């Protein structure tokens, strides 16, 4: 599933080619995505120019002359720019024809979506209740503490709830918790402000590095035929069950939380409990 860094990289890859281009035609081969592709698009979009592309969480927002296209890549979606005469294959559901290129939406599992709005896209029902952007200036330890403090659920599950904070999916939740030295099963309300600051910093660092890694593969991505995939990164814990922790050498453990595989180092991320004093319990 594309996560925030992948979507940010898609945005950065598409923007230089797309912004300023006028849409000549729209082809919808398969409208049955997570929500149906509006039939009106093929009449509405031709002649409109792409003024800007932005991102909110994992949604891409294309600003056109008379409204906004909102796109989510779901589990397996990709957006590619291909030459205009490129034949479509079975999962290429939507094409926007530009002057020389096609913007092609491909989605084998069809959990993605393309929506249209003429109102403020940030107020659209899909986006209105999303949590803060972890890479924005407004996100810090105090904000994170306020968001997670009411929750009795494990911190990893809360981090992955896009209504609390957007863009921290399974991989980056595990990686951020490792960097912050927080066990993924820690009860959210038990996290102090200080540990929330460490966690907010870790989330920001993890996502920023992933975006930087994505930037180096941008050219390949935009012109390639394959699915989005994940960037080649050296993870600390994700997918490393039984391998040595890169910091202390302890074997990485795997557990399942809220049906998602969760990875952690039991030594670097101790679960605060009866056998171990909570290191900063007086500073809540
Ligand atoms: Zn370790």
189 labelled catalytic: no
Q: How far from 138 is each of 20, 134, 204, CA to CA, in Å?
A: 30, 8, 12
Question: For this structure, is 260 an active site residue?
Answer: yes
CA of 179 to the centre of ligand 1 (A): 10
C-alpha distances (whole Å) from 12 to each of 60, 136, 219 are 11, 17, 11
Instruction: Kindly give the distance from the C-alpha atom of residue 251 to the centroid of ligand 1, in angstroms, as a whole number.
Output: 8
Name the residue ranges covered by the structural domains of the chain.
4-123, 141-283
Domain 141-283, CATH = 1.10.8.50
pTM for this model (two decimals): 0.85
* pLDDT tens for each residue of 238-253: 999 999 999 999 999 9
58 given a catalytic annotation? yes
Residue 265 CA, ligand 1 centroid: distance in Å? 5
User: Which residue is catalytic, options 193, 260, 266, 270?
Assistant: 260
How much distance in Å is there from the Cα of 170 to the middle of ligand 1? Answer: 19
Tell me the C-alpha distance between 278 and 224, whole Å: 49
230 CA from centroid of ligand 1 (Å): 24
Q: How does pLDDT run across 201-240, given as a tens digit for each residue?
A: 999 999 998 888 775 554 444 443 444 444 556 899 999 9
pLDDT tens for 58-113 read: 999 999 999 999 999 988 888 988 899 999 999 999 999 998 899 999 988 999 99
Q: For ligand 1, an ion, list residues with CB under 5 A.
A: 245, 247-248, 250, 265, 267-268
3-state secondary structure of 179: helix
Task: Please tell me the CATH code under which domain 4-123 is placed.
Answer: 3.20.190.10
CA separation for the pair 135, 142 (Å, rounded)? 14
């Amino acid at each position: 599933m594309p996560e925030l860094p992948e979507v940010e990289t898609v945005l950065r890859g598409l923007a230089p080619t797309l912004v300023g281009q006028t849409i000549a035609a729209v082809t919808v081969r398969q409208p049955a995505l997570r929500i149906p592709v509006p039939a009106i698009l093929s009449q509405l979009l031709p002649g409109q120019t792409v003024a800007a592309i932005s991102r909110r969480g994992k949604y891409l927002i294309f600003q056109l002359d008379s409204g906004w296209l909102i796109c989510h890549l779901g589990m397996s979606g990709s957006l590619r720019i291909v030459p205009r005469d490129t034949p479509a294959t079975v999962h290429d559901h939507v094409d926007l024809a530009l002057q020389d290129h096609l913007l092609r939406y491909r989605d084998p599992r069809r959990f993605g979506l393309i929506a249209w709005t003429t109102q403020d896209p940030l107020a659209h029902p899909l986006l209105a209740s999303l949590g803060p952007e972890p890479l924005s200036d407004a996100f810090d330890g105090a904000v994170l503490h306020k968001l997670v403090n009411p929750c009795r659920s494990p911190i990893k599950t809360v981090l992955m709830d896009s209504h609390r904070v957007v863009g921290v999916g399974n991989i980056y939740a595990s990686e951020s918790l490792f960097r912050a030295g927080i066990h993924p099963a820690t009860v959210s309300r038990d996290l102090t402000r200080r540990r929330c600051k460490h966690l907010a910093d870790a989330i920001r660092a993890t996502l920023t590095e992933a975006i930087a890694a994505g930037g180096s593969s941008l050219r390949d991505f935009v012109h390639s035929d394959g699915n989005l995939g994940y960037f080649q990164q050296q993870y600390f814990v994700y997918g490393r069950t039984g391998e040595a922790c890169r910091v202390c050498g302890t074997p990485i453990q795997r557990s399942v939380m809220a049906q998602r595989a969760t990875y952690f180092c039991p030594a670097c991320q101790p679960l605060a409990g009866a056998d171990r004093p909570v290191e900063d319990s007086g500073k809540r």
